[in-house]
Amino acid sequence: MKTFFTLGALAALCQSAYSLNPGPYIIASANSDSQILTDENLNQPLTFTQPTENENQVWQFNAVDGGYFEIQSVQGSFIDCHRTEDRTCYSSERPRAFIPEFQGDNKYELVEEGSGLFLRITKEGGLQLAEWDQSLNEQFTLTPVN
């Protein structure tokens, strides 16, 4: 009986340490913490820019079913990557759900619900959906905002 409770407590501890809690976060490139996902304007491509301490760099992770989150900027728009053929991500009124997959060292991969595609930083500093390639371009540091 003690073993059962010990294993249950250990499982709960691991789950809370590796799963993401709903709330506001700054999304930074795993390649460079000095590049932060920024929501400039509705219907504009999302880009990574230098930290500015503006609200347009804060993203609310809203929990939905199955461990997925809708990722919404504090300005109210969502990450949406289905407007163009190359799957460039835009600031949109249409929510999409992503599951954060813990990679260690506060790094996460963000996988879109349904498609199984990963968010990836482009060479130009934009954001797009793409097939998994095991690169740091698909990993993000998520820092909670107080």
Q: How many helices (H) and strands (E) does the chain have?
A: 1, 12
Quote the pLDDT of residue 13: 34
Question: CA 15, CA 32: separation in Å to the nearest integer?
Answer: 27
Quote the pLDDT of residue 134: 87
User: The pTM is what?
Assistant: 0.84
Go through the domains of the chain in sequence order and give each one's CATH number: 22-144 (2.80.10.50)
Question: CA 94, CA 143: separation in Å to the nearest integer?
Answer: 24
Question: CA 84, CA 93: separation in Å to the nearest integer?
Answer: 16
Question: CA 127, CA 46: separation in Å to the nearest integer?
Answer: 6
φ, ψ of residue 75 in degrees (nearest 5): -75, -10
Quote the pLDDT of residue 53: 83
Question: CA 104, CA 92: separation in Å to the nearest integer?
Answer: 30
Give yes or no for a contact between 62 and 98, defined as CB atoms under 8 angstroms apart. no
Predicted confidence pLDDT, tens digits, the chain (146 residues): 444 333 333 333 333 345 799 999 999 999 876 899 999 988 899 999 999 988 999 999 999 999 999 999 988 999 999 877 889 999 999 999 999 999 998 899 999 999 999 999 999 999 999 999 989 999 999 999 98
